[in-house]
Amino acid sequence: MSYSKKYYGWSVIAASWLALFCLFGYRATFSILKVPMSADMGWSQTEVTLGYSFMMMVYALAAFGCGMILDKWGTKPVYFMGAILGAAGFYVTSMVHSLYAYYAAYGILAGAATGMLWVSSTISVRKWFVGKSYAKMFGIAFAGAPMSQVVMSLFVKQSLVGAEGDAWRGAMQLLGVLTLGCLIVAALLAKKNPEDYGMEPFGETPGASATKEYVWGIKEAFSTFPIWGAILTFLTSMLAEFLVWTQVVSYWNSDLGMSLSKATNLYVAIGVVGIFSMPIMGIVADKVVQASKCESQGRKRMLIFGPLTGVAACGLLLMQTSASTILGLIACFIFAIYWAIVPGGVVGYTGAVYGRATLGKIWGLATLIVMGIGPFIGPLIGGYLKDMSGSYTYSIIFAMCAFLVSGIIASSLPLSTEVLARAKAKVSTV
């Protein structure tokens, strides 16, 4: 293997790591900043959480547009746009003084930036790494997400210690500067598709490069079941995941009586474990693929297992009391395992079924559907159930049920499509 190919491959991973670090910085900090923001501005938890839901709705639209760009021009222009919008999302939000201005600033600017970052980072890894090389390398790149949860959460927590009133504004401004710097570096490191450099992806099986990949049309791909099965699996997991991520600190703080500092430290544990679980579970997933008859079967098996870990983690949260911190730590450990499996696994499954050539636009539209519904509705349901019942318990129960449904749907995923079988037969004769 040439030095340049290794360098390009690791540059892609480094750029994706930085993009995911910034993307999950929004998620990691929201669950902490929404508490002082709500108190300072006099907004209810539902009103504040709605801003996050709006962000995810715009995120979905941006993801679709980004997917169309990726197949042709790669990630570099996307990361540059993400740097500007991501920094502006934090900074402009820090200046708002009305609820609707908050919705516009956080919803539109942050939503556009984060939507670009998710699709670009995940698809670029899949385009460069396939087969038994994919999950491990995605796990390394995705480790930027839990690292963000640790670093960003502790940073925001420290900036709020002993502060009063609008200290959240200063924290957001500093986050904006950090986001700008990281994404500019990501843009400089980013690479186009391997074919643009006369290279093949890592992990390609012998002889695979001799067969031209089938080029899917959007309508054609979305007339098959595998993509809809992947969407429904991911959607139900996202309903649960985003509800938990945005509400769990408040659950520990309000329902269990923990201090905000202790609850934040517990939340950070998910990130600490995730730094290691991402690459480790990636290696496990690749081993499962090698033991399966095809890549899609291995990815399917992991997608069944992943949501079930979410069910177990939610069950432990419901069993937890203010005196049983150990149950919370175990739940965080299990959530980190879930987190290492499902987001990358569903992209891996989709790529295994539909190939890399048009994966950007296929996954971009899938992300539009999933992220336009799951992360928008999940946090909103969590906030609504809290406002109606006075407790976050029902929110956790809802999340547990959604994880269970996700695992059931994953068990129905097919390994290929009739369209693909015919396409392979046709392409092999070219």
Is the dihedral angle over the CA atoms 304, 309, 310, 315 positive or is it negative?
positive
- Among 118-132, 221-235, 276-290, which is the least confidently predicted range? 118-132
Q: What is the pLDDT of residue 206?
A: 33
Q: What is the pLDDT of residue 162?
A: 57
Q: What is the pLDDT of residue 267?
A: 80
| Nearest Cα to Cα of residue 317 among 247, 364, 367 | 247
114 Cβ contact list (under 8 Å, min separation 6): 23, 26, 55, 59, 62, 86, 89
Q: What is the pLDDT of residue 422?
A: 55
pLDDT tens-digit series, residues 210-259: 456 778 888 999 999 999 999 999 999 999 998 998 788 889 988 898 88
DSSP string, 234-274: HHHHHHHHHHHHHHHHHIIIIIS---HHHHHHHHHHHHHHH
Q: 2: pLDDT confidence band, cut at 50, 70 and 90?
A: low
Q: Comparing 103 with 200, which gets the higher pLDDT? A: 103
Q: Is residue 1 part of a domain?
A: no
Q: Is a pLDDT exceeding 50 seen at residue 208?
A: no
166 near 39, Cβ under 8 Å?
A: no
Q: What is the pLDDT of residue 268?
A: 79
Q: 41: pLDDT confidence band, cut at 50, 70 and 90?
A: confident
Q: Is residue 61 part of a domain?
A: yes
pTM (2 d.p.) = 0.78
Q: Is residue 6 part of a domain?
A: no
Most confident option among 173-187, 191-205, 253-267: 173-187
115 near 197, Cβ under 8 Å?
A: no
Query: What mean pLDDT do residues 411-418 have?
Result: 83
Q: Is a pLDDT exceeding 70 seen at residue 1?
A: no
Q: What is the pLDDT of residue 237?
A: 96
Is the dihedral angle over the CA atoms 19, 20, 23, 28 positive or is it negative?
negative
- Among 57-71, 201-215, 241-255, which is the least confidently predicted range? 201-215
Q: 80: pLDDT confidence band, cut at 50, 70 and 90?
A: very high
Query: What mean pLDDT do residues 364-373 have?
Result: 86
Query: What mean pLDDT do residues 116-128 have?
Result: 87
- Token code pair at residue 6: 């290794």
Q: Comparing 81 with 166, which gets the higher pLDDT? A: 81
Q: What are residue 127's DSSP bridge partners?
A: none
| Nearest Cα to Cα of residue 82 among 100, 95, 65, 101 | 65
Q: What is the pLDDT of residue 178?
A: 93
Q: Is residue 199 part of a domain?
A: no
| Nearest Cα to Cα of residue 33 among 18, 48, 15, 22 | 48
Q: Is residue 208 part of a domain?
A: no
364 Cβ contact list (under 8 Å, min separation 6): 63, 64, 65, 66, 67, 68, 70, 119, 123
Other Cβ atoms within 10 Å of 212 Cβ, number: 11
Q: 163: pLDDT confidence band, cut at 50, 70 and 90?
A: low
32 near 154, Cβ under 8 Å?
A: no
Q: Is residue 203 part of a domain?
A: no
Backbone angles phi, psi at 45, to 5 degrees: -65, -35
Q: Comparing 379 with 365, which gets the higher pLDDT? A: 365
128 near 9, Cβ under 8 Å?
A: yes
Q: Give CA–CA dist 328/266, Å, rounded.
A: 7
The per-residue pLDDT of the chain, averaged, comes to 86
357 near 213, Cβ under 8 Å?
A: yes
In the block, which residue shows the tokens 């098996």? 301
Query: What mean pLDDT do residues 372-383 have?
Result: 81
Q: Give CA–CA dist 213/277, Å, rounded.
A: 32
Q: Give CA–CA dist 136/414, Å, rounded.
A: 23
Q: Give CA–CA dist 259/34, Å, rounded.
A: 15
Count the domains in the chain.
1
Q: Is residue 207 part of a domain?
A: no
Q: What is the pLDDT of residue 205?
A: 45
Q: Is residue 201 part of a domain?
A: no
How many helices (H) and strands (E) the chain has is answered by 16, 0
For residue 149, give its domain range. 11-194+214-427
Q: Is a pLDDT exceeding 90 seen at residue 89?
A: yes
Q: Give CA–CA dist 227/231, Å, rounded.
A: 6
Query: What mean pLDDT do residues 59-71 have?
Result: 80
- In whole angstroms, how far apart are CA 200 and each of 8, 73, 194? 11, 17, 6
CATH of the domain at 325: 1.20.1250.20
